[in-house]
Structure 1
Amino acid sequence: MTSVRTVLVIGGGTAGNGLTVLLRKAGIDVDLVEAKTDWNVSGSGITLQGNALRVLREIGVWDQVREAGFGFGSVGITAPDGTVLHVARDVRTGGDDLPATLGMQRPQLQRTLIDAVKASGAKVRLGTTVESLASDDTGVWVRFDDGTGGRYDLVVGADGISSATRAMIGITERPEPTGMAIWRTPAPRPAGVERTDLAYGGSCYIAGYCPTGPDTVYAYLVEPKRDRATIDPDSYADEMRRLAAGYGGHWAGIAASITDPKQVNYTWFDRHLVEGPWHRGRVVLVGDAAHACPPTLAQGAAMSLEDAWVLAQLLTSKDEFDEQLLLDYHARRLPRVRMVVDNSCQIGQWLIDGVRDADVPGLMGRTMTVLRELP
Structure 2
Amino acid sequence: MSEVDKVLVVGGGIGGLCAAIALRREGVPVDLVEIKSDWTVYGVGIIQQSNVVREMARLGVLDRYLDAAYSFEDVGIYDLEGEPLARIPGQRLAGPQYPANVGISRLALHKVLSSTAIELGAQIRLGLSVEAFEQDEDGVDVSFTDGSQGRYALMVGADGVYSKIRTLLFGDTYRPRFTGQAVWRYNFPRDPSIDHLASYMGPGGNAGLVPLSDNLMYMFSTSHEPENPWYPPEQLAELMRDRISNIGGLVGRLREQITDSSQVVYKPMEVVFVDEPWFKGRVLLIGDAAHATTPHLGQGAGMAIEDALVLSMELTADGSMEQKLQRFMNRRFERCKFISEKSVLAGDREMARDQSFDRIGLTKQMLKLTAEPI
Matches within 5 A, 1:94-133: 94=94, 97-133=97-133
C-alpha displacement of 1:273:
1.4
With over 3 angstroms needed to count, the CA separation of the structure-2 counterparts of 1:257 and 1:2, relative to structure 1, is farther
The residue identity in structure 2 corresponding to 1:364 is: T
Deviation for aligned residue 1:150? 0.9
Shifted more, 286-295 versus 183-192: the winner is 183-192
Equivalence for 1:193:
194
| Structure-2 residue corresponding to 1:139 | 139
1:57 alignment partner, SS class: helix
Percent identity among equivalent residues? 36
RMSD over equivalenced CA pairs, Å: 1.8
Partner of 1:353: 352
Instruction: Indicate if the aligned counterparts of 1:209 and 1:219 stay in contact, CA closer than 8 A.
Output: yes
* Deviation of the 1:355 alpha carbon: 2.1
C-alpha distance 363-93 of structure 1, shift in aligned 2 (>3 A) = farther
Distance 1:366 1:92 in 2: 17
Q: What's 1:218 paired with?
A: 218
Give the letter aligned to residue 87 of structure 2: V
Deviation of the 1:343 alpha carbon: 1.6
Partner Cα separation in structure 1 for residue 299 and residue 91 of structure 2: 13
Structure 1 residue 18: Cα displacement: 0.5
**Which stretches in structure 2 are left out of the alignment for 5+ residues?**
none
TM-superposition CA deviations, 1:179-237 (whole Å, max 9, x none): 21111122211232111111213543x21111111011121111102455531012112
Q: Which aligned pairs between 1:17-56 and structure 2 lie closer than 5 A?
A: 17-56=17-56
Per-residue deviation, residues 112-145 of structure 1 (Å, max 9, x unmatched): 1011111111111111111001111111111111
**What is the deviation of 1:244?**
3.2
User: Are 1:13 and 1:40, in contact at CA under 8 Å, matched by a contact in 2?
Assistant: no
- The Cα of 1:168 is off from its aligned counterpart by 0.8
Q: Determine the structure 2 residue equivalent to 1:330.
A: 329
Is residue 178–residue 228 contact of structure 2 (8 Å, CA) maintained in 1? no
User: Contact conserved, 1:50 with 1:95, CA < 8 A, in 2?
Assistant: no
1:237-275 Cα distance to aligned partner (Å, 9 max, x none): 221123334322222453343232222121122332112
Partner Cα distance (1:136, 1:334) in 2: 25
- Unaligned segments of structure 1, at least 5 residues: none
In 1, the alpha carbon distance for the partners of 2:146 and 2:327 equals 35
* Residues 152-187 of structure 1 deviation map (CA, whole Å, 9 limit, x = unaligned): 111100000110000011252222222211111222
Q: Is the 8 A contact 1:91 1:369 kept in 2?
A: no
- Normalising by the residue count of structure 1, what TM-score does the alignment of the two structures yield? 0.94
Match of 1:302 in 2: 302
Q: Please report the TM-score for the alignment, with normalisation by the length of structure 2.
A: 0.94
Q: Specify whether residues 225 and 242 from structure 1 end up closer, same or farther in structure 2 by C-alpha distance, changes over 3 A only.
A: closer
Q: Distance in 1 between matches of 2:344 and 2:324?
A: 30
Q: Secondary structure of the residue that 2:138 maps to in structure 1?
A: coil
Residue aligning to 2:175: 174
State the distance in 2 between where 1:290 and 1:283 align. 12
Write the letter of the residue equivalent to 2:249. Answer: G
**Cα distance in 2 between the residues matched to 1:228 and 1:180:** 8
Provide the C-alpha distance between the structure 2 equivalents of 1:334 and 1:16, rounded to a whole number of angstroms: 18
1:152 is aligned to 152
Number of the residue aligned with 1:274: 274
In structure 1, what is the Cα distance between the partners aligned to 2:300 and 2:96?
Answer: 21
Q: Read off the aligned partner of 1:276 and give its amino acid letter.
A: E
Paired residue total: 373
Alpha-carbon contact 1:93-1:371 (below 8 Å) kept? no
Number of the residue aligned with 2:371 = 372
Contact 1:188 1:254 in 2 (8 A): no
Quote how far apart the aligned CAs of 1:317 are: 2.1
Q: Distance in 2 between matches of 1:245 and 1:59?
A: 42
More off after superposition, 105-114 vs 175-184: 175-184
* Counterpart Cα distance in 1 of 2:122 and 2:185: 33
Whole-Å separation in 1 of the counterparts to 2:38 and 2:188: 23
Structure 2 equivalent of residue 16 of structure 1: 16
Letter in 1 for 2:221: L
Alpha-carbon distance between aligned partners in 1 of 2:316 and 2:130, rounded to the nearest angstrom: 26
- Work out whether residues 45 and 185 of structure 1, in 8 Å CA contact, stay in contact via their aligned partners in 2: no
Separation in 2, partners of 1:30, 1:122: 5
Equivalent AA in structure 2 for residue 324 of structure 1 = Q
What are the Cα deviations for residues 330-371 of structure 1, in whole angstroms up to 9, with x where unaligned?
Answer: 111011111111221222222222222222111211221121
CA contact (8 A) 1:188 1:257 kept: no
The one-letter code of the counterpart of 1:197 is A
